[in-house]
Amino acid sequence: MAESPSGRKVLVTGGAGFIGSHLVDRLLERGDQVVVLDNFNDFYDPQVKRHNIKEQTGHPAYRLVEGDIRDDRALSRTVALGPFDVVVHLAAMAGVRPSITQPALYMDVNVLGTQKLLAALLGSGWTGRFVFGSSSSVYGNRSGESFLETDRVDQPLSPYAASKAAGELLCYSIHHTSGIPVVCLRFFTVFGPRQRPDLAIHKFCRRIDEGLPVEIFGDGTSKRDYTFVSDIVSGIERSMTCDLSGFEIVNLGRSKPVVLMEMIRSLESALGKKANLVHQPVQIGDMPYTYASIEKARRLLGYEPSTDFDEGVRQFVDWYAGCRQPVSP
């Protein structure tokens, strides 16, 4: 691996995924050395991830390890490529609804996998910074006000949410016992180019484009704090370099929730097509709304999201129209 002008070496787990691949793009542009650990699982078509990293794999400062965070041999191969100044841990089983039918798998990957990754790093004598990708889902069923990092998170609505809350607790215990600085970032409904095909904006876009029915769970008044991926990446990047020696939990969102029907209208406008809506009952595990307080992110990280929602949708639709990657239904 070529020497990095910045002298920084970064491990990104899940670095071939949606958020991870965008982060890796940014780090390589900065001149960092990047090691990616990804298992290319079949939660959705692995070829989508391989397409995400197509331009990265030839970069002299990029190294890919194909393997699972629960696999000791894969972890040993990865740790041997260090020491890393920062580890950004994004590898996880994602998705609220699938976690309801596979709770053991979500706990195994998201909690045990995180533990094994940390054990492998600390066992090598590593003393860098750990950035953990958490989720707004930890906040559970809320109403009326923005979500603060100090709010209780002990009533998760799904095994996925529970696994992320448990991951945060694990990170705190590791910080307490080892002294490594840790930042847990709670991401709020990230969207943009390369978005996973199971997520609402991508799924709705494809179904509107193909003239298929679009299922609306509930009355269409649920709200999500949709946050464009480049703003999330900026927040991650700032968390890697901010003045920090302890343990912090930080929301990364846009702090401007969007009603579900407004999201659909924005997609219709960008596509120039109308949605064929089919209403269904609310699904178990779904949160009625998300709304990030980002005052701590502003104060600690200098974070300031800059991408308007409709502009973000237009950028997503441009990407979708330009590639129409093969995706799972």
Residue 182: C-alpha distances to residues 20, 76, 154, 213 (Å) = 18, 22, 21, 44
Token code pair at residue 159 = 């095994």
From CA 61, how far away is CA 28, in angstroms rounded?
7
The crossing angle, in degrees rounded to 10, of helices 113-123 and 72-79 is 40
Instruction: Please identify every residue annotated as catalytic.
Output: 160
**The one-letter amino acid at 247:** F
From CA 82, how far away is CA 263, in angstroms rounded?
43
Helix, strand, coil content of the chain in percent (nearest 5): 40, 20, 40
Token code pair at residue 268 = 């219709």
Cβ-count burial 32-56 (b if 16+ within 10 Å, e if not): bbbbbbbbbeebbeeebbebbbeeb
Residue 319: C-alpha distances to residues 201, 206, 315, 316 (Å) = 13, 12, 6, 5
Helix (H, G, I), strand (E, B) or coil at 78: helix
Q: What is the DSSP string of 2-29?
A: PPPTT--EEEEETTTSHHHHHHHHHHHH
Q: 3-class secondary structure for 240-257?
A: HHCCCCCEEEEEECCCCC
From CA 311, how far away is CA 256, in angstroms rounded?
14
Closest among 247, 228, 246 to 303, alpha carbons compared: 228
